[in-house]
Amino acid sequence: MEFSFSVSGPSKVDLADSYDLVIIGGGPTGLTAAIYSSRANLHTLIVEKGAPGGLVATTEWIENYPGFPEGVAGPELGRAMQQQAQRFGAEIFHGEPEGMDLRSNPKKITLGGKPVTADAVIIATGTRPRKLGVPGEVELAGRGVSYCATCDGPFFQDKELVAVGAGNSGVQESVFLAKFASKITIVEYLPTIQAEKILVDRFNRTGKGSFLLNHEVISIEGEGKVSGVRVRDRESGKEKVIPCSGVFIWVGLKPQTEGFKGLVKLDEWGYVEADEELRTDIEGVWAAGDVVSGAVRQIAAAVGSGAKAAIGIEHYLSTKPQKGVD
């Protein structure tokens, strides 16, 4: 089966006609897989539409990744991983596949108008922030609605903000926002805070924030830019508007697998189903990292997953009969 993708700003690179391995996704998972595969002398191409490091590049500070006792900036970690992969010869195409046929052998992928083949593929497209789906969210995106504190926090110096989601991501990123904002209200749908106590304590110490629990965001309001967030008390049903200049949304993640529907087996939430060796239901196609059903969605787990997939592919290709050889 062949699937067509939308194209977004492909890079001008000299693509080879064929690769041993094409990795779709250049986050920590894909970059780690490329480090292992390139070091094993597999001709490797990474396909990434965004910044090196993927979602990690939008994280201001990472404290739980081994080897960095004082923490590390997300963009810095992403760049370092990319440089390491390129050091061993991995190539990077900045853009998206225009079309793929993963059931053929070798696999067929079109990039920037050029068809290339690959003996193996890793799906490492990761996840992206889930949207609320309320009125005003789409209309005011980039006009006060954001999903990335690192990207947009500095634009809200001395402004009042609303953060949606009291999980680890929401509270941790709100700590970063407190460097700029004058006040932050974290709205949580559930009646309890979901984040770890250490993060909650850190947020409370900023002296700039509060939690509004058991409330549902109904709409994001404003003409041309965000002016407030309308919420409803889930117990009493009463509504009110929280005045603010910006709203940052952290209500979970969504797998980036739209382009793989009908192509590989997905679970009911859209994550790729893979076996213990990270093989999908298609021979020669692996899935790794956050995009895999049941994955532990942490950077340390993602890099381990990428390494495991690359090692499995190296073994698969080394035992695969060569063309023209009995």
Active site residue 151: yes
Active site residue 148: yes
HEC letters along the chain = CEEECCCCCCCCCCCCCEEEEEEECCCHHHHHHHHHHHHCCCCEEEEECCCCCHHHHHCCCECCCCCCCCCECHHHHHHHHHHHHHHCCCEEEECCCCEEECCCCCEEEEECCEEEEEEEEEECCCEEECCCCCCCCCCCECCCEECCHHHHHHHHCCCEEEEECCCHHHHHHHHHHCCCCCEEEEECCCCCCCCCHHHHHHHHHCCCEEEECCEEEEEEECCCCCCEEEEEECCCCCEEEEECCEEEECCCEEECCHHHECCECECCCCCECCCCCCECCCCCEEECHHHECCCCCCHHHHHHHHHHHHHHHHHHHHHCCCCCCC
Q: Which of 20, 152, 244, 290 is catalytic?
A: 152
For the annotated catalytic residues, the residue numbers are: 148, 151-152
